[in-house]
Amino acid sequence: MKKTVYILVAIMMLFAISLVGCSSTPSTPAVEEHVCHHVCEICGKCTDASCTNAVCADKCPGHVEEHVCHHVCEICGKCTDDSCTDDVCKDKCPGHFVITYDVNGGNALESDTQVVDAGSAYTLITPSRDGFKFIKWVDSETNVEVTEGAYNFGKNITIKAVWVQNNDGWSEWVGSSGIIR
C-alpha cells in the first residue's frame, strides 16, 4: 500500500505541476507603456530625435511657422516694415497720404477725403457752390495753389476751395495775377 500512496502522490504532483504550467494568466511581468513627453502641437508626433522607443518611431517632420505681419497698412493691407525680409512681406506699402477737402462754403462732396499713394498721379475733385465760380484749390496752411499730378507733399494735406461770386453784368477773367473785372 505504501507503493500505491507513493504513486498517488506522484500523480497528484504531476497534475499540480501541469496546472501551474498551463495557467491562463501570463506569468511575465507587465511591460510599462511609453509615454512621450515631446509631442508636436501641430501633428502630435514625437519631436525628440534621441528617443528610440518604438512608439516614437514616427517623428515630427518639423513645421515652418507661417509669418504673420504685425505692420499692416490699414489702407492697402501691405507690410509697412522696410526691415522685414519675409516672403509674405516682400510687396511693401508704397505709403499713402490723405488729401482733405475744405469746400469753404461749397456744396458737400461725396467724400471730403481722398487717399493717394505716394508718388502716384491723382485728380482733384471739382466742387460746386450756388452763385459762385470755383477758381482753384490752395493748401489751407500756406495758401499755395495745389494742382493735379503726382503727389509730392510728403504728408497729409488739407486743401481749401477758392471761389469768386458770380455777379450779373460783370465779366470776369481769371489770369495769372488773379481776377480782373
At 173, the pLDDT band (50, 70, 90 cuts) reads low
38 class by beta-carbon count within 10 Å (0-12 exposed, 13-18 middle, 19+ buried): middle
Helix (H) or strand (E) holding 30: none
Residue environment code for 78-91, b if the CB has 16+ CB neighbours within 10 A, otherwise e = ebbeeeeeeeebee
Amino acid occupying residue 77: G
Q: What would the pLDDT profile of 61-103 be if each residue is shown by its tens digit?
A: 887 777 788 888 888 888 988 888 888 888 888 888 889 999 9
What pLDDT does residue 96 have?
87
How far CA 117 is from CA of 34, 49, 151, 160, in Å, comes to 60, 51, 8, 21
Domain boundaries, the chain: 35-65, 96-180
One of 2.60.40.4270, 3.30.465.10, 3.20.20.70, 2.40.30.170 is the CATH number of 96-180, namely 2.60.40.4270
pLDDT at 147: 86
Q: Which of 56, 35, 63 is nearest to 48 (CA)?
A: 56
Query: With bands split at pLDDT 50, 70 and 90, how would you rate the model's confidence at 127?
Result: very high
**What is the per-residue pLDDT for 85?**
85
For residue range 40-59, what is the model confidence (pLDDT) as tens digits? 887 889 888 888 888 888 88
pLDDT at position 181: 47
**End-to-end alpha carbon distance in the chain:** 157
Question: Full-prediction pTM beyond 0.85?
Answer: no
